[in-house]
């Protein structure tokens, strides 16, 4: 008899991946030939700029781009990233030591703890928060401390509530603003408090800034704009959100040289870099598409203004939509479970949305809608409520 092969203890600790479960539900609808409106996952429906596609095609024909890429990435891409960060945030980066391209920001966020976290160290993760942070901590053997993002605190964490025992054993804290799923934008005073907290306790600040360009009334900052952050912080960016390039799988990390160096060493042992043609497409995005994000913001804002207003008219007690391409809505009064409400939407309305509990226990009581469909589809969805 063949001995049964078990998955690892770390893998068993992971809860079912939220979006995999949503994909399963959508597959069931498709197999039953039932049409539905998908407002669940933030995968933009807007085409990437045509210049990027043209550059990608041309670069793919070059033999050098068909070879293994350097883990550190092309110099041209790192230089374009450095220039973009200077123009956008007035942050000066050394393209050789303070920037590393990534196979999407998720890859870097999850791999980072492997470079610095030892078994038994604490990783502080936001709740509600992106599920990848928890997976990153578990794979590195870390203990997790969940930091509540509460409505009463404008979805900003109260760092004073972190126990001293956790602070002293914490190696990394994940922070994400503009925030998914709550849409909150962090004010400068909070970022200053956060940096000082991390400096005091020697905690790596992993700042997920993937939605930095999807904003409306308030312009988000880079954590690297804050005094002292260059000593302790590493910031992650995504071409997926900024240029609607989700399937390209390209992003970057920038910040403290020792943190970049550690992440690069992990990547050297895991992957062989980003396809060279995609890197060239990234250069084109950063250097030639400065007006693209302005157009994207206008489109998302129009959708947000319409859908948020209509949700309030339909009886949702509170709607948050300060940034990103999501709406974080409190459940209607006759529902207390976000799972139950999401099932109701699927079964009765054929609308797929993301239950707040999927982002952590403090997400209960909310539902997340993605604005990554045309306004006409949003109008159809509202008509079904």
Indicate the average pLDDT of the chain: 95
- Domain range for 203 is 51-288
Q: Which two tokens stand for residue 198?
A: 């991390």
Report the C-alpha gap between 336 and 369 in whole angstroms. 17
178-221 pLDDT, tens digit each = 999 999 999 999 999 999 999 999 999 999 999 999 999 999 99
Predicted pLDDT of residue 17: 65
CATH number of the domain at 68, please. Answer: 3.40.640.10
Read off the pLDDT band of 125 (50, 70, 90).
Answer: very high
Which of 288, 320, 351 is a domain's end point? Answer: 288
Contact 342, 22 (CB under 8 A): no
Same domain, 240 and 178: yes
Cα dihedral across residues 72, 76, 79, 84: positive or negative: negative
Establish if 158 belongs to a structural domain: yes
Read off the pLDDT band of 347 (50, 70, 90).
Answer: confident
What global pTM score does this model have? Answer: 0.95
15 has pLDDT over 80? no
Q: Is the peptide bond before 143 cis (omega within 30 degrees of 0)?
A: no
Same domain, 94 and 209: yes
* Mean pLDDT, residues 353-366: 95
Angstrom CA distances, 135 to 117, 140, 164, 236, stand at 13, 9, 24, 17
66 has pLDDT over 70? yes
| Residue 244 falls in which region: left (phi positive, over 0), alpha (psi -120 to 50) or beta | left
Contacts of 326 (CB under 8 A, 6+ apart): 42, 180, 181, 183, 368, 369, 370, 371
CATH number of the domain at 308, please. Answer: 3.90.1150.10
9 has pLDDT over 90? no
19 has pLDDT over 70? no
Predicted pLDDT of residue 12: 86
Strand order through the sheet with 319-320: 319-320, 326-330, 366-370, 354-355
Q: Looking at 6-10, 90-94, 314-318, which range is the least confident one?
A: 6-10
Establish if 155 belongs to a structural domain: yes
Establish if 40 belongs to a structural domain: yes
């Amino acid at each position: 008899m063949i001995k049964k092969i078990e998955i690892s203890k770390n893998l068993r600790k992971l809860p079912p991946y939220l979006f995999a479960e949503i994909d399963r539900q959508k597959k069931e609808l498709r197999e039953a030939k039932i049409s539905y409106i998908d407002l669940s996952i933030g995968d933009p429906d807007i085409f990437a700029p045509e210049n990027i596609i043209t550059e990608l095609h041309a670069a793919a024909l070059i033999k050098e781009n068909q070879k293994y890429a350097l883990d550190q990435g092309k110099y041209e891409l790192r230089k374009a990233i450095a220039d973009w960060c200077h123009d956008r945030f007035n942050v000066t980066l050394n393209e050789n030591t303070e920037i590393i391209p990534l196979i999407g920001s998720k890859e870097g966020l999850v791999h980072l703890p492997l470079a610095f976290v030892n078994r038994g160290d604490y990783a502080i993760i936001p709740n509600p928060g992106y599920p990848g942070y928890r997976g990153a901590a578990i794979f590195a053997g870390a203990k997790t401390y969940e930091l509540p993002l509460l409505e009463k605190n404008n979805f900003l964490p109260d760092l004073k509530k972190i126990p001293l025992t956790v602070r002293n054993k914490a190696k990394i804290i994940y922070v994400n603003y503009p925030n998914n799923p709550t849409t909150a934008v962090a004010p400068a005073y909070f970022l200053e408090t956060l940096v000082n907290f991390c400096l005091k306790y020697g905690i790596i600040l992993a700042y997920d800034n993937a939605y930095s360009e999807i904003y409306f009334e308030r312009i988000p900052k880079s954590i690297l704009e804050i005094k002292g952050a260059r000593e302790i912080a590493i910031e992650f960016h995504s071409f997926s959100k900024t240029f609607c390039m989700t399937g390209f799988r390209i992003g970057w990390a920038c910040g403290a040289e020792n943190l970049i160096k550690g992440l690069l060493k992990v990547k050297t042992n895991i992957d062989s870099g980003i396809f060279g043609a995609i890197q060239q497409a990234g250069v084109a995005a950063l250097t030639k598409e400065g007006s693209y994000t302005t157009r994207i913001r206008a489109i998302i804002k129009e959708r947000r203004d319409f859908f948020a207003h209509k949700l309030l008219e339909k009886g949702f007690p509170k709607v948050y939509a300060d940034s990103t391409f999501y709406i974080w809505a409190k459940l209607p009064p006759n529902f207390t479970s976000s799972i139950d409400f999401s099932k109701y939407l699927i079964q009765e309305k054929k609308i797929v949305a993301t239950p707040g509990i999927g982002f952590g226990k403090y997400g209960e009581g909310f539902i997340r809608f993605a604005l990554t469909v045309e306004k006409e589809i949003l109008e159809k969805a509202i008509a079904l409520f």
